[in-house]
Structure 1
């Protein structure tokens, strides 16, 4: 009996391996934009300044082989989507070898990773579980690395194969390290900046001494650099500004010339061809000094937050700047002018998305990390236009494509509609006046009823032939005049019950409402409602979709459920255990996005599933839409901007025939002991 159970589990494991090794070969991923996004780290190949790397906030690595003119997504550091690449180093000895230090957001962990193929694949290289915010390689002894973590300072003398702590454990001040630097001649001289001032060791970490004389107290030291011509000259940048030391950090002098509003400085770099020329990246632009820091001039707009800079040693006029929200900018004239250089770098964070089902070239995005946060396109993503006037992006709860335009629901309640001619958002919808007419006093005319703005918090919208439906925190509302006025459905089953999702049949007679307490259905346009049993507790339900009039799809936190008879019976879960975020259908292919397991497709109405492949396939795509014109899908990512995905139906079917069904595997794993 026990042997049979083990054999069954082994068979299941083999099936899972077979499943996850099978991916659809006929896939075509294409970015739609918008370009740009957050640059978290920027590094250059010491042997070839044309080769650059970007580290991002979700672990992805982008590479440029032409000095930043074009970028390619080449790999991901680790497996997690919340791994921020805090620091990135190209090995001085081998251009194909990269090192990265990461910080994971959910559990404040991370580690050091190494790549041997130019960033395409990565392996752990120590300090697993540590937040690694700084990493430096010794010039005089290139097998020696130093890492700054929240826990302390660590050193490797074998190119990252092993690490030793060189700062005392549990020290009150020797923690929360944000920057490290190694003396170019003597690797025992190590400088380290913390969230609270700076430290150094002159004996490889045996003893540490504070070096903050002259620094403003409680300065977060973000960067430390050493003058390549004089190891006594040290530069440090902090939240309190810039500092210079002429005696290896024993005392500091504040560098003046940058206004206090821009004093939070990420880095200071010397021009390798003229060390008197300095560049400083701040939260308010990139600054340049031509006289060793005596005077400064801002050379970018103040709105740029410049967190990284690469200088070409063979071309002193070439600057490559990495910014927050705006991506990469390149200057060919020493900073006199800059141009955006984000071709191939698609890393915008999409927080809301809608596509026009009648005109699939029209889409709307709300971004979390861009200067222009609300954008629309009318040409399928070839160009994007700002559409943010009149509404604060942080107030937007959801966006909708309604017949004739764009609407948004607000977190504070109510709806807004976009006027394309005026390029402006305005409040939309009123509450329909009560049918009860007040009795007029003798000799006085009755005042017309006062229209009240529709202020309910809207979670979802749906459209029937002659009615719009809104799922709100207060229940279900309807409109028969395209959203101009709204009325509440008064049936006790829906009134006052928070509704998460709503769907309507094409004839406008059948309504389905997913609430916090379960699923409700009406077959008489909302006059009466019946409770429909869900296959999971209501707390696990996410959103309701209708494939066609009798076919319902329930996205849940534990898998995908399908009913072909309006909810009377539900099939066993597809993709069991996965958090389903969105569903789309195109040309017989069902595409599903999950919260942390990527995208899956099915060509047989859910009987078998194949994971999508490609550089961005493992990203999180909270929003999907079908694109009937191109027989493809549109996938909106929380980190990777917008993409189209075209799946060849024949290739998908051939792959599906070779892969086991996730449903059957789930049923096999759940057999009772006496069946195994």
Structure 2
């Protein structure tokens, strides 16, 4: 196969590579929601308890100045979006100074960060860079002293983070994988460390350590340690085996009653600042509360609420906030008797797909994964400014794909089949009327009826629509509908991994991660099309009205005018790692995004020139919203092009 490459001059290529980077920190598109998602940690200004900080699982810190009623993005730690911020500390001496401990979700690393301007800017502290920091505490009696618990051990600073020293035995096989830290309120040398295998204590600043496991079931992971500030000999320790209380500084623990063994992970224990007998326990199965110092407990929430942290307003202990997985921040004004979402401005949703309603301009649908009962589908009727959950009937299913029929009916591809929306809620759909007996394995087809009631019931990864012809890409194969999803045939192809279906003249084109196929008989038989050898895999595809097939992959973009006989590379494009290609009829352009860049492009398919905009986010899909663009970020929800950028671009380039 021969290629006809476009040649770029070195100077122009350098210019195109450089210009977007200069604007990487500006021209951000606002993240508009849906509100909610994963929240990890709270902190409050001691002098102004309504001024709160919120840590997330993707490097972002938010703030609220009204007790959590509204949130604004404050800053992003590090250089990526993979830091889990489980601890934020507001310095007792100087509330403009903040500390944050972080760890990386999918690999070793993290650190301790400091801000001296109330969280607007952050610096990583030398000596802790690269450490997976799972716990961070400040000594109440000496704010210069901080103690960090990491995967490798316990570290301490006595000069507000300028210098750090490991105070656990170097190379210890026991005092490592530290998940929780607590410092005695009167003695900064007395430190408790909870590890993935039992708790430890030092009373001399780490020179000597002893195990405090008496009364605790062996090999218990200790997630949280609470010291009673009024009586420091009273401790609470949460472990995978339950919650324990000690009345003698950890010499002996007893297991508290009333919390079921299934609630194995209690990540947060907090004491009412005005009543030491009132303690809250945030577990993986809801919030528990005791009114008698742990003698008995009552569950206050649904068991499906996963709690990462708790904040109790010291000025008004009836005001309680929870940082949760999936449902974001939940707030109570009656001491936990009832909770409501308090996520205005907080958006950390994992959005898989966005659908722009073709009948009602300004209406958007967002499909959410990892949301369970708090996820599913969200709808906005005002260009994304406000959102409402529309998940009745989905039963907590993840939504991976959305499509709309010509009569306005919305369909959702979930982790367990296809669902159709009606005013009464979502209902299972995807009825199969016949099933080919040898999908994609022979030239002849014998269609046999399927038993009554059969539906597409496997995970639906993509829905592709071309007028009345729809394709559903599922883990059980590819299904075909000729009536906009009312009934289905298939599987017409049994392989998984298809990323695109479209029409190229009289041919139906199917793009897989490693191959391109086409059919001339509506999916009855398939042949292989030549693919560009310059791409190690295929990650995106689209077809323009002139019959050009565009494909993208790790090495960039290729296109063909003759169904794969000849492929041409768009050489001067300054990004690779293409993750989406979409035809935009409003601009007559191919929209493009990359997993390596926050810049999105609109390519003119006739001149092979392009415009670009810096969204400020890594995105994985782009759509048109009237005369603007809307993009889907990886973990910050939906982002929308500002009206001021509509019809304009930051720069242009081309071959």
Query: TM-score under structure 1 normalisation?
Result: 0.81
- Give the distance between the partners of 2:651 and 2:353, measured in 1 at CA: 32
- Give the distance between the partners of 2:261 and 2:220, measured in 1 at CA: 14
> Is the 2:202–2:210 contact (alpha carbons within 8 Å) kept by the matching residues of 1?
yes
Instruction: Report whether the alignment pairs 1:534 with 2:535.
Output: no
Cα shift readout 1:80-138 (whole Å, capped 9, x = no counterpart): 22211122212222222222222212223222222233333322214222211000111
- 2:552 — aligned with what? 555
3-state SS of paired residue (2:317): strand
Cα shift readout 1:565-618 (whole Å, capped 9, x = no counterpart): 7664424242433342354637437643332433423475663554524xxx32
2:636 to 636, 640, 663: 640
Instruction: Tell me: CA distance 1:483–1:337, structure 2 relative to 1, closer, same or farther (3 Å).
Output: closer
- Give the distance between the partners of 1:309 and 1:498, measured in 2 at CA: 41
Extract unaligned runs of 5+ from structure 2.
1-8, 438-446
Query: TM-score under structure 2 normalisation?
Result: 0.84
- Give the distance between the partners of 1:68 and 1:641, measured in 2 at CA: 20
3-state SS of paired residue (2:577): coil
3-state SS of paired residue (2:30): strand
Extract unaligned runs of 5+ from structure 1.
1-7, 435-447, 665-676
> Is the 1:553–1:563 contact (alpha carbons within 8 Å) kept by the matching residues of 2?
yes
3-state SS of paired residue (2:201): strand
- 1:307 — aligned with what? 308
1:379 to 378, 381, 386: 381
Query: Which stretch has the larger CA shift, 279-288 or 83-92?
Result: 279-288
- 1:441 — aligned with what? none
Alignment of 1:640-659 (within 5 A): 640-646=636-642, 648=644, 652-653=648-649, 655-656=650-651
Higher percent of residues as helix? 1
Instruction: Report whether the alignment pairs 1:174 with 2:182.
Output: no
Measure how far apart 1:199 and its partner are. 0.5
- 1:120 — aligned with what? 120
- 2:426 — aligned with what? 423
Instruction: Tell me: CA distance 1:317–1:78, structure 2 relative to 1, closer, same or farther (3 Å).
Output: same
Alignment of 1:510-529 (within 5 A): 510-515=507-512, 518-520=515-517
Instruction: Report whether the alignment pairs 1:585 with 2:584.
Output: yes
- Give the distance between the partners of 1:212 and 1:16, measured in 2 at CA: 58
3-state SS of paired residue (2:20): helix
1:393 to 362, 379, 397: 397
Alignment of 1:109-508 (within 5 A): 109-125=109-125, 126-262=127-263, 264-360=265-361, 361-377=363-379, 379-380=381-382, 382-387=386-391, 389=393, 393=397, 398-404=401-407, 405-408=409-412, 417-419=420-422, 421=424, 423-431=426-434, 450-451=449-450, 460-464=462-466, 467-469=469-471, 478-483=480-485, 499-504=498-503
Instruction: Report whether the alignment pairs 1:42 with 2:37.
Output: no
> Is the 2:224–2:268 contact (alpha carbons within 8 Å) kept by the matching residues of 1?
yes
> Is the 1:30–1:645 contact (alpha carbons within 8 Å) kept by the matching residues of 2?
no
3-state SS of paired residue (1:19): helix
> Is the 1:148–1:179 contact (alpha carbons within 8 Å) kept by the matching residues of 2?
yes
Structure whose CA Rg is larger = 1
- Give the distance between the partners of 1:120 and 1:56, measured in 2 at CA: 16
- Give the distance between the partners of 2:465 and 2:142, measured in 1 at CA: 68
Measure how far apart 1:36 and its partner are. 1.4
- Give the distance between the partners of 1:650 and 1:406, measured in 2 at CA: 28
Measure how far apart 1:165 and its partner are. 1.0
Measure how far apart 1:173 and its partner are. 1.1
Cα shift readout 1:355-397 (whole Å, capped 9, x = no counterpart): 4444452525132134243225373554434346367725x66
- 1:673 — aligned with what? none
Query: Which stretch has the larger CA shift, 261-270 or 376-385?
Result: 376-385
Instruction: Report whether the alignment pairs 1:627 with 2:630.
Output: no
> Is the 2:535–2:555 contact (alpha carbons within 8 Å) kept by the matching residues of 1?
no
Measure how far apart 1:342 and its partner are. 1.0
3-state SS of paired residue (2:287): strand
Instruction: Report whether the alignment pairs 1:82 with 2:82.
Output: yes
